[in-house]
């Protein structure tokens, strides 16, 4: 690496760190949240736009309109109460390809949005993808479905390590569409009725018909 570029980058990082440390806690948290969301959006767009990583098949690329997002809104970044489900049931999820996938209940996220209380169930894949897998699957639908978001629901990826002191961060700005929103070649679980939110979630990936 060019030495001058390295020094410039280090100096920029140092100045950024110093400026961050002088900010109030809530301002720092806001900046970090916006950075996380921006990184997520960029990585998702890069994945779909890059011919080497796109999930699209060759015959679908020409019709692809790109990944679009609702405006970032931190009101949809919620520190929800987490309630574990003891002896959770393993349930069949119908899929877009008229098949069945299985997921086990893990816990519930309980939160308030626009003065209304909601509840979403978090699941683990059954069987687990690998030994020690701590990933959690949060599929949901809301009242934007079929209008400004994909009618087949959206997903969020979480982790058991995200649960801290009885809380779990649910950021709808990180919600994304299943592959089936853009491609006919995938087999995507349909969110269960208990994860339908009777409100509009105008955050995360939107949808171009």
Domain boundaries, the chain: 56-197
* pLDDT of 156 over the 90 cut: yes
- Token representation of residue 146: 């079929």
Q: How far apart are CA 92 and CA 8, in angstroms?
A: 54
Q: How far apart are CA 52 and CA 49, in angstroms?
A: 9
Whole-number pLDDT of residue 7: 43
Q: How far apart are CA 28 and CA 22, in angstroms?
A: 9
Mean pLDDT of 158-179: 97
Mean pLDDT of 99-116: 97
Q: What does pTM read for this prediction?
A: 0.86
Phi, psi of 148 (to 5 degrees): -110, 0
- Token representation of residue 69: 């997002």
Whole-number pLDDT of residue 15: 46
């Amino acid at each position: 690496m060019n030495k001058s570029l390295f020094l410039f980058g280090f100096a920029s990082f140092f100045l950024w760190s110093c400026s961050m440390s002088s900010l109030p806690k809530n301002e720092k948290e806001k900046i970090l949240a916006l950075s996380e969301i921006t990184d997520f959006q960029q990585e998702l767009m890069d994945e779909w736009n890059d011919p080497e990583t796109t999930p699209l098949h060759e015959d679908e690329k020409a019709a692809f309109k790109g990944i679009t997002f609702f405006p970032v809104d931190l009101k949809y970044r919620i520190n929800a109460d987490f309630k574990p489900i003891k002896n959770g049931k393993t349930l069949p999820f119908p899929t877009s390809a008229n098949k069945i996938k299985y997921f086990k209940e893990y816990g519930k996220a309980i939160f308030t949005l626009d003065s209304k209380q909601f509840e979403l169930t978090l699941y683990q894949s059954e069987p687990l993808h690998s030994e020690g897998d701590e990933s959690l699957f949060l599929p949901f639908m809301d009242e934007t479905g079929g209008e400004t978001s994909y009618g087949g629901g959206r997903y969020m990826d979480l982790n058991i390590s995200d649960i801290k002191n009885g809380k779990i961060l649910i950021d709808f700005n990180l919600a994304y569409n299943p592959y089936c929103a853009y491609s006919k070649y995938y087999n995507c679980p349909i969110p269960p009725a208990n994860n339908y939110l009777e409100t509009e979630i105008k955050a995360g990936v939107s949808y171009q018909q």
